[in-house]
Chains A and B, each alone.
Chain A
């Protein structure tokens, strides 16, 4: 990607090569063309900059105390020289390759989130877009993996990056028929600690190498006709591969350190490799139309058929147990093969009808259907000694799964007055699922589930004046069938949002949201409730020229309880509580200026404090000072503090001061 960054930096230079004096003959030929160009899209005036933008760079120091693995899991900002941002726009006066090019890149120089974006367009010829991101995923939280090992990079930890690249090219944008091509790639790479599981007797932490990638290629045409019809036809293909590996050599006694029938279980070597390959081709058609001024129609249909082929091997040596046969053995080899095929059909149609000036009726219907056919096979060969074969264990299956989801919704919107719009509606959701049952299932290899839910909808929008607006949404539902114990069952959801312009420089905004879900079934007893209230204040006296203040406060609560069978199958309740306060603020102050330059000071940040099942606190205050040195150069300094603490896992807390200073060059 460093080459990409170099390219981004070089493009401005290439785009503005010194103009050669035009030859007389060329000048005559160019004159009409220039006139035509001016009519199409006027070139920037000669006095305007052909390039505008900025570059931010500097050096960051990080001083942290506490659990470094937690810091990396939550914040992960590193020390060193950083290119924090490049952002520029080029308006090519000659319009040779493009009319306009916008490019921006942020977080380069080892930051955990690096992004780049380029848009280039030439009027009526093409529209090109490139997007890239490389995001680090580091997670090594002892409380998540193994609470008894509160340090270090332990089980279920990983240090990976996920990269996303997207390219799209629209040809003849703005015309009636627009062909387009696109490519997307998502890939992950890095390492981690997984467990190699030996039956339920023991599991051994082993280092893994993680590699996967998904490529998507698509192309199609968009047809837009007289603003009353649009059709998009698209064909796409996806390829996928997963080549995760695990390799270990040494003495590993696993998590079960208690001898089993007098013997200590041990893993001495492991070689594990996945070779997963997938492909899919899909076809999509979507359309919108407005045959009459009072009717809008839309619809979409898609069919895809992804397929996965599985190749898996592992070879492990050590001292293992097969309790079902009271057998101890020194090695095992697994070979897994199989395939999964998943035809996927989805479609939706709907319309918006306005039979009268004040009335809108919106109807929609959708279906989404996955039908799986899978045939996995796993052959396990037990090695009593490295050269003596033991029993074979073959696990094979050949089954089909189906998931069908359907939804129909009707909404009616009525303008009671010019300021008040009322909404009412009804949604019916239904579906069925046939899935592989658990190994201990008493009702056969497959399990069946159904979904049937009736939802009533209501709401209003009230705009008392330009200064006050209120939105209210209510959703109440009753379910006859649900898929899971924790699914939405009998619930109501209410959301209110209000904005009030108290004065020209002062605006208030309030949000209120509540969700209550109940499942009184005797074997479930699920009670879930959540509330979220927030208030935001924006104060911008004199349009925020001197000072602007933003403050937000949010209070949220979650309360959940559900029955289950715990230890020795005794009745137990899983209860979860959270009572959280979140506040964030930003104060921007324009300091007294000098030489026509205005320094700017920013202070603010956020805090999060919660109590309940996992009490924790997270503070992120910040201060920033921007001192202009001259018209196009400013010196920026920033201090941030990250403080994280947990009441039950004190060892996971950290405190970090992050100090950064650097320059911003702009034009």
Chain B
């Protein structure tokens, strides 16, 4: 049995050491997040009841909102002052009724908006990939997707597949256009949503691809039969992923292939033109030389049907 190589162990130990330091640092708290306000309510805080006087609709909707926990619970230290947890002290605003006297997270810089959300949500499992997510890098704030005041079947964020897709398409119009092609995953029909494959909070895989089971690409959540391991692996599946041959968002070609005819998907790698070392590429030599004039040799999949990997045949015949 093969074991993980030594530098992986070293990495793991380094990670453990890093987190041990982190825990130690957190206990020390020289620069840890500010503790919740003291139990004694400072004068500038007005309390949620004061907010209700003018914003009754939001106040009532908020009762069914997941953030109601902030209002009623003690964990975050904002009990009875949930509104001011995000909007800041509201005493002055309550006196003046001026919008200028209250913090409006939706109008702040995205990084500042996120900072407010992360006051409570900083270290959560969904945020393991947050730092690396393209959303974070591109200053897409939490409130771009999450409606903090909203209530209803969707809660803070779209839950129905069609609503999720609509939300994502609001920015990714070019990607949504790919789903109008004839061969695509069934997103326009509402059978799937963008978050079935992508984690909007980020992932350690490229393009925020979801991971399933043992950190495998999210594709295998539905296509478990392609997961392997196979006794005869087709290297591109593992090395380049599904996108080596498929366009998952949509294609004009059957089975979402990158090329109009199957043979070109194969022949572009299995070219019989070996590249000299050191720039050698894998798979350049074809498994056999066929008479490509014959239709039966023009679709490689007719015989090599187990191209995702085979349990029995080295040539992926069965």
Contact = CB atoms under 8 A, between A and B. Distances in A.
- A and B physically associate: yes
Nearest to A347: B11
B148 interface: no
A73 B177 CA distance: 20
B108 to A, nearest CB: 10
Contacts of B177: 532, 534, 552, 554, 556, 582, 584
B22 A291 contact: yes
B2 A400 contact: yes
Contacts of B225: 188, 212, 214, 242
A336 B318 CA distance: 11
Contact of A310 (B132, B231, B252): B231
Interface in B68-99: 68-69, 72-73, 75
B179 to A, nearest CB: 9
A195 B303 contact: yes
Interface in B261-287: 262, 264, 267-269, 271-276, 278-287
Given A227-B123, A345-B4, A293 B31 contact: yes
A328 to B, nearest CB: 20
Given A433-B282, A436-B232, 10 more contacts: A40-B72, A89-B153, A107-B189, A228-B26, A344-B215, A374-B230, A449-B280, A569-B289, A574-B259, A584-B180
Given A39-B72, A461-B138, A224 B312 contact: no
Q: How would you classify the secondary structure of chain A's contact residues: helix, strand, loop or mixed?
A: strand
B275 A524 contact: yes
A156 B153 contact: no
Interface of B: 1-5, 8, 11-12, 14-15, 18-19, 21-26, 28, 30-33, 63-64, 68-69, 72-73, 75, 107, 109-111, 119-120, 122-125, 127-129, 131-132, 134, 137-139, 153, 159-161, 170-174, 176-178, 180-183, 186, 188-192, 204, 212-215, 221-225, 227-233, 235-236, 238-240, 244, 252-255, 258-260, 262, 264, 267-269, 271-276, 278-293, 295-296, 298-299, 301-303, 305, 311-315, 317-318
Contacts of A148: 295
B189 A113 contact: yes
Nearest to A215: B224
B281 to A, nearest CB: 5
A485 B278 CA distance: 13
Given A113-B191, A229-B123, A486-B268, A276 B296 contact: no
A440 B191 contact: no
11 contacts: A53-B153, A156-B299, A290-B32, A292-B30, A346-B215, A447-B282, A483-B281, A484-B244, A521-B279, A578-B252, A614-B252
B119 A227 contact: yes
Interface in A383-421: 395, 397, 400-405, 409, 411, 413, 415, 418, 421
Given A291-B22, A293-B33, A364-B132, A144 B235 contact: no
A602 interface: no
A486 B271 CA distance: 11
For the complex of A and B, the 9 pairs showing the least CB-CB separation, nearest first, are: A291-B25, A113-B191, A214-B224, A554-B177, A304-B214, A564-B271, A289-B22, A614-B260, A342-B229
Interface in A114-139: 115, 117, 123, 133, 135, 139
A302 B139 contact: no
A664 interface: no
Contact of A511 (B173, B215, B276): B173
Given A224-B123, A349-B11, A485-B269, A338 B31 contact: no
B227 A214 contact: yes
A532 to B, nearest CB: 5
Contacts of A227: 33, 119-120, 122-123
A541 interface: no
A554 B174 contact: yes
Interface string A141-160: 10111111000000110000
B303 A440 contact: no
A661 interface: no
Nearest to B231: A376
Instruction: Give the size category of A's interface with B.
Output: 35 or more
Interface in A456-492: 459, 461, 463, 466, 471, 473, 481-487
A563 interface: yes
Contacts of A618: 180-182
Interface in A422-453: 423, 433, 435-436, 438-442, 447-450
A484 B174 contact: no
B20 to A, nearest CB: 10
A484 B245 CA distance: 12
Contact of A139 (B254, B281, B289): B254
Contact of A164 (B63, B181, B222): B222
Nearest to A145: B299
A55 interface: no
A347 B299 contact: no
A439 B191 contact: no
Given A74-B183, A534-B173, A483 B282 contact: yes
A616 B252 contact: yes
Contacts of B122: 227-228, 288, 290, 296
Interface in A527-550: 532-536
Contact of A147 (B160, B281, B295): B295
B214 A582 contact: no
B214 A284 contact: yes
Given A397-B314, A461-B138, A574-B268, A291 B23 contact: yes
Most chain B beta-carbon contacts within 10 A, residue among A107, A481, A486: A486
A253 interface: no
A296 B180 contact: no
Contacts of B73: 40, 174
Interface stretch (A57-65, A230-238, A587-595, A625-633): A230-238
A147 B263 CA distance: 13
A240 interface: yes
B109 A463 contact: yes
A340 interface: yes
Nearest to A362: B131
Contacts of A461: 138-139
Interface in A356-371: 362, 364-371
Contacts of A350: 131-132
A300 B204 contact: yes
A194 B14 CA distance: 50
B214 A156 contact: no
Given A197-B318, A230-B123, A242-B225, A298 B231 contact: no
B64 to A, nearest CB: 7
Contacts of B64: 44, 91
A310 B11 CA distance: 35
Interface string A182-202: 001011100000111100100
Nearest to A149: B295
A580 B315 CA distance: 36
Contacts of A97: none
Given A290-B26, A348-B204, A552-B176, A497 B171 contact: yes
Interface in A288-341: 288-308, 310, 312, 314, 334, 336, 338-341
A564 B204 contact: no
Interface stretch (A11-19, A22-30, A259-267, A605-613): A605-613
Contacts of A584: 176-177, 180
Nearest to B177: A554
Contacts of B173: 509, 511, 534-536, 552, 554
A565 interface: yes
B297 to A, nearest CB: 9
Nearest to A297: B22
A38 to B, nearest CB: 9
A546 to B, nearest CB: 20
Contacts of B161: 106, 115
Contacts of B109: 418, 463
A34 interface: no
A63 B199 CA distance: 39
B72 A308 contact: no
